[in-house]
Structure 1
Amino acid sequence: MPSKKTVATTVQKVSRSSKIPPALTAPRGVKTLREAVDWLKFRGIEDIECITPDLAGVPRGKMMPSSKFTSNTSLALPSAVYRHTISGEYPEETGQFRYEPRDSDLKLVPDLSTLSVVPWETDPTAQLICDVVGSTGENVTYAPRNVLKNVVNMYAERGWRPVVAPEIEFYLVAMNDDPDYPLHPPKGRSGRTILGGQGYSIAGINEFDELIDDIYHFSEKQGLEIDTLIHEEGPAQLEINLRHGDPIELADQVFMFKRTIREAALKHGIYATFMAKPMQGQAGSAMHIHQSVVDIKTGRNVFSNPDGSPSKEFFHFIGGMQTYVPKTLVMMAPYVNSYRRLTPEMSAPVNNAWGYDNRTTAFRIPVSDANARRVENRLPSSDANPYLALAASLGCGLLGIMNATEPSPPTDDAANEGSIDLPRGLLEAVALLESDTELAKVLDPEFIGLYAGVKRGEFETFMQVISPWEREFLLLNV
């Protein structure tokens, strides 16, 4: 059995030889099953993980010997995978939430462009992301990757291609096997627990140099590209910025990055968490999304006129974000904990305002030239399923363009003080998602009904838990 080091060295050496097909040495993706067979054999891969994101963005799927995968075996998952809560429970049928009567199989269709190694496994292992179709090949509208693909296709019908660049924040925390105890930061290389106030601190990053090196190494071996990495405001809170590109590819990267970062942290005896608000009194973790739209034929930024001025599509996109993002917030802030991040006078916005280079607004327009004109959506939290957050954000902007929705005037002052212009909790956000008929133009009604039912089920589970606040203030006072 070849070791990882041997395989990596072999790949590096043969990549210098013109006799070796480039498809064999590429760290990520092949075009055909024949190329996949050669790619796996070249690396001595023994096992392969076929995964797909569920509604929460959790990888689900099957692991098998690579020989079975390359024999073109049929892969399937039960439809119930998309109908359970984050805690693994199955809600009661209500409203538009229904179970498939037979709980029949859904087929997994491997996307060979996502094939890569699993660098943290001891035995040579590969992984790839799968699409989901029905038993006869029909579209499954509620599978998260399909939800995003549908929105991207709507842009393509207009001759456009959306471009996105996510920024993902997360915390490193000390291991904690008792959920009744609060989380706290881990010790860094100095041997001391890192404190807050380390925004953009190089010393803060250096506290976890070896872990960060592993994140980079794991990412490189999977063909994942990190643009920058910084230390955020919270103690041991980091942010990874990804290079801009195709929404499907970037959602895939966020999906894989979350797994990669968790595995790298575990290797060093700590947790990486993408909870929106893991520690009381500290900043929450966001997944900011930079968005623009280009013309497929010309490559021109649709948000800019030929003379460099903002286009009507730019303003209508912002108008759509202002109008519809609050109604799809549950796709960007999907859990009870997500709304703990969205509080006044914190770094997370609680409004639907927009402004030029104004970080207190929900929708910020960064300083750029006409070619890079874009809209940053600062509302999504890092606990969101990246496929659904991107689908909602891009879908809302597209609705604005379709309906020629005019935005409010830009906000020049601080917009994060005073009233809250967003749903304040999970149930309110679910009700807003279901109430707007316009959203059915970009989000399938079957998906909306199923997603809403799962979210209501999660809320009911949460309500069964008695919190420390209740014991502290109600036990002896009421």
Structure 2
Amino acid sequence: MSDWIKKCPQAAQDYLEGRRLDEVECIVPDIAGVARGKAMPASKFAHQKHFYLPNSIFLQTITGEWTDNPSGAFTEPDMILEPDYSTATAAPWTADWTLQVIHDVKDQAGNLVPIAPRNVLKRVVDLYKAEGWTPIVAPEMEFFLVARNTDPNQPIIPPMGRTGRRAAAKQAYSMSAVDEYGKVIDDIYDFAEMQGFEIDGILQEGGAGQIEINLAHGDPIELADQIFFFKRMIREAALRHDCFATFMAKPIEGEPGSAMHIHQSVIDTNGNNIFSDEKGNETETFLHCIGGLQRHLPAVIGLLAPYVNSYRRYIPDFAAPINLEWGRDNRTTGLRVPISSPAARRIENRLAGMDCNPYLGLAATLACAYLGMKEKQLPRPEYLGDAYSGTDELPANLGDALDLLAGHDPIRDVLGEEFCIVYEAVKRNEYKEFLQVISPWEREHLLLNV
């Protein structure tokens, strides 16, 4: 076994036990959370300490177009990629024996590149550490299994289940509904075990073919890495069974959207949850965290809802938040305090869509909470009752969300000004591309009527 493999997690070592590693994928999450990088023979990887990619990978839109570099000339200088062996994990769907390794992205002077999403999350976590705090998160991943769709002009439909019938909607928590596509679920479990990932639970959500996977709580960077890997793995498991897995926020008309709910708490240097006092009561810091989320979340909606489709999820009566209210065990509020013991007291941010980059979704949530705790901002009174009956508080589209990000200095200071400039440039380019597309709705209702 090569010396570098001994630096990898035990699950990766177990995966290769008695086998010869064929290939290593050197990968970096881009602005969208897509894996960029290069694959190479394991023998070559073993003899190189770092690799190179141009910084333009962070200037590419989801459609593959290039955004003008807001920092100057488009010269595409190389960045240095250094392997983070703690992230090494199997790619069990490949034909040969392959490991994936996420790489740290640095400039040629050895500094972390500030526009790399994983580095943005590291920056926010470091701000917590400077205060003697350790953020803890627990993400929930919602997604749809859908029938193969090779023609973008055709609507998405649910997949065919083992009964020969298409998956049905309004079957939340149904075990029979999960069994309909049990073979996909089995592969997800098997892949997760080979990759060393812990699944806290799998359940049927409210949409047709909609599944939720819960991950155990832990370190934000490690959990973001897992979601990054999970998205690819789930897609591969679905393809094995003649269907697609999609993480679009709203893939099917008339169905609920897919969220990435983020549970968050903070522990001190003694391992105590700072949201609870010695008697188990809520602390002022707990309320300050909620206050920060209420005050600053509007400025980061462009990160939590990063595409034009994302805003189709924010509508009443589809189990999606449309407000910044908070409440205890109240799923109609954007910020929910789940039932828990004092040691596990936490806040659930229900605003993020599953289409967001996990590094940026976690960074944005933690940034708002951090600012609240530093500013000691108290929240509005707890909302009692149905918060859907209140006023919408979220931006209505991506353009409005980017305007809020552009004008919010506290968030820009925490996430990094250079990152915010690049992110806004990429997203405004995508929004401009979308506005040039004429939809079927427009042709149907406007062509002959206006």
1:220 corresponding residue in structure 2 = 193
Q: 1:401 aligns with which of 373, 385, 393?
A: 373
1:112 corresponding residue in structure 2 = 85
Deviation per CA, 1:294-336, whole angstroms, max 9, x where unpaired? Answer: 01x2100011111111111100000000000111011100000
The answer (yes or no) to whether the contact 1:155–1:162 under 8 Å persists in 2 is yes
The answer (yes or no) to whether the contact 1:344–1:418 under 8 Å persists in 2 is no
- Within-5 A mapping of 1:283-432: 283-295=256-268, 297-432=269-404
Q: 1:247 aligns with which of 220, 233, 252?
A: 220
User: TM-score, structure 2 length as denominator?
Assistant: 0.96
2:98 corresponding residue in structure 1 = 125
Deviation per CA, 1:188-218, whole angstroms, max 9, x where unpaired? Answer: 1001111101100000000011111000001
Distance 2:255 2:16 in 1: 45
Q: Specify whether residues 356 and 189 from structure 1 end up closer, same or farther in structure 2 by C-alpha distance, changes over 3 A only.
A: same
Deviation per CA, 1:162-197, whole angstroms, max 9, x where unpaired? Answer: 000000000000001100000000101001111101
Supply the AA of the counterpart residue of 1:268: H
Deviation per CA, 1:346-394, whole angstroms, max 9, x where unpaired? Answer: 2101111100000011100001111000000000000000000000000
Distance 1:210 1:468 in 2: 35
Q: 1:89 aligns with which of 53, 62, 65?
A: 65
Deviation per CA, 1:33-65, whole angstroms, max 9, x where unpaired? Answer: xxxxxx968531111101110000000011000
2:183 corresponding residue in structure 1 = 210
| Corresponding position: 1:274 with 2:250 | no
2:380 aligned counterpart, secondary structure: coil
Deviation per CA, 1:391-421, whole angstroms, max 9, x where unpaired? Answer: 0000100000111111000001111224210
The answer (yes or no) to whether the contact 1:118–1:127 under 8 Å persists in 2 is yes
User: TM-score, structure 1 length as denominator?
Assistant: 0.91
2:110 corresponding residue in structure 1 = 137
Distance 1:461 1:114 in 2: 35
362-371 or 83-92, larger mean C-alpha shift: 83-92
Q: Specify whether residues 99 and 201 from structure 1 end up closer, same or farther in structure 2 by C-alpha distance, changes over 3 A only.
A: farther
Q: 2:429 aligns with which of 457, 460, 468?
A: 457
Distance 1:427 1:221 in 2: 41
The answer (yes or no) to whether the contact 2:138–2:262 under 8 Å persists in 1 is yes
Displacement, 1:126?
1.0
Displacement, 1:88?
0.7
Displacement, 1:101?
4.2
1:176 corresponding residue in structure 2 = 149
Distance 2:350 2:375 in 1: 23
1:27 corresponding residue in structure 2 = 11
| Corresponding position: 1:69 with 2:53 | no
1:4 corresponding residue in structure 2 = none
The answer (yes or no) to whether the contact 2:145–2:158 under 8 Å persists in 1 is yes
Supply the AA of the counterpart residue of 2:10: A
Distance 1:46 1:100 in 2: 39
Displacement, 1:150?
0.6
Please provide the CA RMSD for this pair: 1.7
Displacement, 1:454?
0.5
* Fraction of identical pairs, as percent: 50
| Corresponding position: 1:256 with 2:229 | yes
The answer (yes or no) to whether the contact 2:7–2:85 under 8 Å persists in 1 is no
The answer (yes or no) to whether the contact 1:141–1:446 under 8 Å persists in 2 is yes
Q: 2:159 aligns with which of 179, 186, 201?
A: 186
1:213 aligned counterpart, secondary structure: helix
Q: Specify whether residues 54 and 23 from structure 1 end up closer, same or farther in structure 2 by C-alpha distance, changes over 3 A only.
A: closer
1:337 aligned counterpart, secondary structure: helix
1:416 aligned counterpart, secondary structure: helix
The answer (yes or no) to whether the contact 2:8–2:86 under 8 Å persists in 1 is no
- Within-5 A mapping of 1:151-162: 151-162=124-135
Distance 1:29 1:51 in 2: 19
Distance 2:376 2:158 in 1: 47
Distance 1:25 1:386 in 2: 21
Distance 2:390 2:337 in 1: 22
Distance 1:85 1:29 in 2: 36
Structure 1 unaligned regions, length at least 5 = 1-10, 12-20, 31-38
Distance 2:375 2:293 in 1: 12
Displacement, 1:22?
8.7
Distance 1:270 1:450 in 2: 35
2:352 aligned counterpart, secondary structure: coil
Supply the AA of the counterpart residue of 1:26: Q
Structure 2 unaligned regions, length at least 5 = none
Deviation per CA, 1:218-263, whole angstroms, max 9, x where unpaired? Answer: 1100101110000000000000000000000000000000000000
2:202 corresponding residue in structure 1 = 229
Distance 1:118 1:450 in 2: 31
| Corresponding position: 1:167 with 2:143 | no
Q: Specify whether residues 348 and 181 from structure 1 end up closer, same or farther in structure 2 by C-alpha distance, changes over 3 A only.
A: same
Distance 1:254 1:416 in 2: 29
Q: Specify whether residues 76 and 23 from structure 1 end up closer, same or farther in structure 2 by C-alpha distance, changes over 3 A only.
A: closer
Q: 2:420 aligns with which of 433, 445, 448?
A: 448
Distance 1:269 1:402 in 2: 50
Displacement, 1:99?
4.8
